[in-house]
Every structure is written in C-alpha cells, then in structure tokens.
Amino acid sequence: MSSSNDVFDSATPEIYRIQTHAPGPAGSLPITEEMLRNSPSGDLFGMTQNAGMGWDPADAGRKQYLILSTQGGLRAPDGKPIALGYHTGHWEIGLLVQAAAEEFRRLQTIPFAGFCSDPCDGRTQGTTGMFDSLPYRNDAAIIFRRLARSLPLRAGVLGVATCDKGLPAMMMAVAGLPDLPCVVVPGGVTLPADAAEDAGTVQTLGTRFAHGLVTLSEAAELGCRACGSPGGGCQFLGTAATSQVVGEALGLSLPHSALAPSGQPVWLDMARRSARALLQLEQRRLAMRDVLADASIRNAMMVHAAFGGSTNLLLHIPAIAHAAGLKLPTVDDWISVNRRVPRLVSVLPNGPVQHPTVRVFLAGGVPEVMLHLRHLGLLNAEVLTVTGKTLDENLDWWEKSERRRRFRELLKQQDGVDADEVIFPPDEARERGLTGTLVFPRGNLAPEGSVVKATAIDPSVVDADGVYRKEGPARVFVNEKDAMAAIKQGRIKAGDVLVLTGVGPMGTGMEETYQITGALKHLSFGKQVALLTDARFSGLSTGACIGHIGPEGLAGGPIGKILDEDTIRIHIDCQRNEGSVDLVGEGQRRFTPEEGRRVLAARGLRKDLASNAALPEDTRLWAALQLASGGTWAGCVYDAEQIIATLKAGRQALNLS
C-alpha cells in the first residue's frame, strides 16, 4: 500500500537527471524564398513542428493527410491492455490508423493522426452516463471538424470509427467538410464466442437472474465470455453495425468494408486500400460535395430498410444530410421507403435465423444487398462513391469479383451456411414472410409520429393478417429505474402497456432503453407487453416497442398526460407498414381515438413529470439547441440559422436587443 509521502516525492534517483538543452533535429527544411515572403507563418511553423516530432526535415513539405479516429484505451505491443478503452469497438482501431498511416507514408505523403474517443451505450445502460450518449455525437462531430480545419494544409481526411455514436459523428464530420476528399473506414465487428451468449443477450442477465432464469455462477460465466475477440462492434445488427452499413451505402466507405472482422488481415487491408482511395480522390479533385447527394441519402435509407437496421439511424441519417446541406428525410419519406423495400437480411436480433454480423460480411454484406436492390430498381446507381466510380460501376465489379465468390465459399466451408440463407434474394425473402422493417405509428398519443421495428415483433403475437393488435392498461413510469424495478419485482404483467415518459431529449438527453426492451424479450410473458416511450432504443431491441414518440412529454406531448389504468390501443399493420397508437379509455369509460384526442387536450401534464435531477447542464443545453433546430425528427442537430433566429426572437420578446 502506498503512503502519503509517495505523493509528495519519489525515491527514484533518475528524476534528478535533467537536461536543460538539446541539439535539435539535424538538417534543414525544404522552404523557398517565395514561401518566406508569402506563406502564413503557421505553414512554416508547422514544418518546424514536423521536424521537432521526428519527421525527416527534408520531407517536411510533403502533402499531408489527416487520420481522425475514435481510438480508445492504450494497448501494449502484444495487444494486452495498459489502460482499457470504453468498449471493444474502439479498442483495436489504432491498428487501422497505423495501417493507413504506413500506407500514406509508403505513398510519399505525411500522415497526421488525431483522436476523439467515444462512449459505450452498453456500459451506460441504466446509468446517468446515458444522458451524455446522444449529445456526445454532436460534440464529437464538431471536434472532428475543428481538428480537420486546424490542420490547414491537409489534403484529405480519413475517418476511422466503429460504434453507436462515434461512427455517426465521424460521418457527420466528413459530410460537413464539403471541399475536402474524405473516406470513412468502419471499425468492423467482434466475433461470437463459442458456446456463449452474444454481447446483447448478456445485458439481460440481471432481469433473468431476478426471475430465476439463470444462476449466479451461470451469469458470471456468461457475462465473461460474450466477446469472442477483443475488437470491433457487437456481433448483432445494432446501431454500430447499422452505422457501418449506412456509411458504405452512402458511398463514404469502400465496397464490402462494413462488418469486417476486427483484427484480421481483411480488416487491415481495408485501411490500406482506403488510404489509397483518398489519394486518388485528391488527385482527381473530388471532394465530399461530389460524393454526397440527395440520392445518396435515399440509397442509404433503402439499404437500411433492406437490412432491418437500428431505429437510431432515424436520428443519424438526417443529421448526416443536414451536415452535408442536403434535404432532410421526413417521416413520410421513411414510410415510403419502408413500404417499398423488402427486408433481405437474416441476422441477430431480427432473424429469422440469428446469424452474427460476421456472416453477413462473408455473405457479401452491403454490395450484395445493393445488387438485389438495384435489380428491383430501388437505387440511384449513378451516384459517385469514394472509389471515384459510380455505384453502378462498383456493383458491376462486385457481381463478377473473385472477392465475392471466395468469401461466399468461406462462409459455407467454415460455418456450413449458404450465403443466400443470410442475404435472401427478394423472392426467397417474400416466401419466408419477411416484412418491411419500420412502421411509423401516429395517433392521438403520437401526433408528430413514432417508430417501431415491426420486423422484430414476435410473430406469435401478430395476427394471421399481419397486424399486431393490442388494447391494454397503461403502467406509467417517469424514469427508467422505477420501470426496471417493476419488471424485476413482477409488477408488470402480460397484457400491460408499459409507458415510459419524460425521458426524451429534455428529460434525459433521449436515453436509450435497452435495459427495458432486453428484459422484456427474455421473459416468457414479455412479448405480451408493449412499450411506449419518448426515448429511443438500442438497435438490439425487439418486441412491440414504440419509441421516438413526438412531441416528447416534457415538450407538452400527449405521452406526458397518460395516467395509470388509461386504456391504450395499438395497431401495427406489418404488411402495409402503417399503424396508430391511441388513448381510447379512462377508468371504465371507452371512447374513440377522436374523443381521446379531446380528453388529452383537456388534461395537464403529469405532476411527476420533470427532467431528471442528474441531467448535466451540458445536456440541457444540447436539448434546447436541438429543439430549436427541429427536434428529434430533424436528427437532433444544431442548425445555426434556426438557433440564431430563435435567440434573436427571444431577445426581442424580452426587450434585450
């Protein structure tokens, strides 16, 4: 044990071996008279810093490329932790940074690297740490852009990121650099562990233990074994994996780069090829404004629907579009896409077979799905991508490539799985009964809209005509902790409609509620419980879970007026991709949705509805700024013009201007 004296001084004699001067780098900088006369002093001092950090002074004037990443933790050369990161998703991506940097150096350029690490939504589930999760995304995007602009001579940016908020932040950042060439390198996925549960299922161990479904020793072992390899995003198609898919679908990443197994040669090769692609974009004078277009956004929405991706991308895709100065998709746009696009991917957690994401990669990943969508006429294949070629050209290459053939063969050889059993051809998907991914219920409780991943509702509670129908009593909670306690204590029963309100942006920073959805999934009666909330969900969530309900309770939305024992009616047509969520009764009285609208209008907000007492001031500010910028359905972004206009109007109203 250390003593207090260890803090004040050290017995190590080496601390007194001090140098007060050093010879400095040998050589001279490649500067010219014209540079001395006309270049900013910062350009020259930058070369001084390059030499000071050990770069060969003779090469200090070479073209510069910036690698930005969400790297976290500190790894020893043998891979063992010196200091842990927050999650496996950013633990190994320093290796991608290194591989790309070495390639830049081989190509006679100067690589720079900057970092902004990211949090883990799994680690913060059920804690106040979740209050910073979504706000982090906006902050990180700003930091990444500031870092890019703070290297004035960078010729391009390579963004390396993996997970739920870090990768969307990186995509927002590069989208907001319209005059620069940029390429995004996805951080890949971790492997499933042998004879173990996945990283999502183990997050329900507490609830299962409380209900006697696992023992203490089983929980301890299962919790230890969930990550089959040390790096990469979780093994399921959650927000991390979906973000990788969307980045590639946008054309920001190289073909067949999303969902690669972290730490393996194919993963490192992707970083090297991405570095080469960035140089080629710069040589051709192609920048982000040439790659991202309204059609790119719509393509990404199509691929999201075909994969059955996380509902969190309803926040991130509009945010990327906003950063790029493009048209923001509306609720009606999402409805249109999800009605037209068949779900094609069989993957954890959606099924019908719970394949891990590495199998989706081996089956062909994003380009394989896009081949099917192109055949159906659902894509704009004329858009440019970071290969410097159009999507059409990329898909023509993929269709005939040895890469496609060999990876599909590997899936069969190693796991005994046919690629077409993971990524279904459209006709096969229809025969298997796969329906559209998302439904956007409206009604007197969600006048601005809401979302449910209909494809993840247990088929046994969906009627033969493809409609989920539920009418039940409301069990209302204004914080997640109390809702979880009720579930663990057996106070939530089959037939209930669990309402979690006041947990949108203004209440908790729009926390993620996988604690609840995961618990319900793994309880025998959970499929007979519906959830309504103004919060958001993990991409792993399944069941009749309706989130993003707008307006949020604390903004005066009807969800903030629901009382215990109110009767709620839910109607979700999984075939027609439409639905409603309505108050249809109070006490013993029943009424129509229209009458329910009048009842709600006459009610005030619940007396116990309030922002969480632990909500940080930083998050309160984020909530106000995103609300002024259009709120949840605009992607929770910062829109400078709208914020300035709101502030100006407020100052005028208060006679401050």
- Which residues are part of the catalytic machinery? 538
Round to whole Å and give the CA distance between 137 and 143: 10
DSSP state of 551: S
Three-state secondary structure string covering 113-161:
EEECCCCCHHHHCCCHHHHHHHHHHHHHHHHHHHHHHCCCCEEEEEEEE
Output the CA torsion sign for 174, 281, 245, 273: negative
In single-letter form, the type of residue at position 419 comes to A
Residues β-bridged to residue 468: 572
Angle between helices 294-307 and 365-375 (to 10 degrees): 100
Residue 454 contacts residue 572 (beta carbons within 8 Å): yes
Where do the DSSP E strands lie in 492-635?
Answer: 497-500, 530-533, 545-550, 567-573, 578-586, 589-590
Tell me, what amino acid is at 546?
I
**For the residues of 261-321, what is the DSSP string, one character each?**
BTTSHHHHHHHHHHHHHHHHHHHTT--HHHH--HHHHHHHHHHHHHHT--TTHHHHHHHHH
What are the residue ranges of helices labelled H in 390-529?
Answer: 391-400, 402-415, 426-431, 480-488, 505-508, 514-521
Question: How many beta carbons lie within 10 A of that of residue 163, not counting itself?
Answer: 32
List, in order, residues 6 or more apart from 47 with CB less than 8 Å away: 29, 30, 31, 57, 60, 61
Largest CA distance in the chain: 89
> Tokens 């005066």 — which residue?
556
d(CA 336, CA 332): 6
Euclidean distance between CA atoms 216 and 220, whole angstroms: 6
Helix H or strand E encompassing 219: helix 216-225
3-state helix, strand, coil in the chain (%, to 5): 45, 15, 40
Q: Tokens 């601390």 identify what position?
A: 15
The torsion defined by the Cα of 188, 638, 636 and 349, in degrees rounded to 10, comes to: 0
Judge whether 122 and 199 are in contact, CB under 8 Å.
yes
Report the first-to-last Cα separation within the chain, whole angstroms: 61
C-alpha distances out from residue 326 to 291, 388, 533, 630, Å: 12, 20, 29, 15
Contact 68, 157 (CB under 8 A): yes
Six-digit token string for 474: 């409301």
Length of the chain, in residues: 657
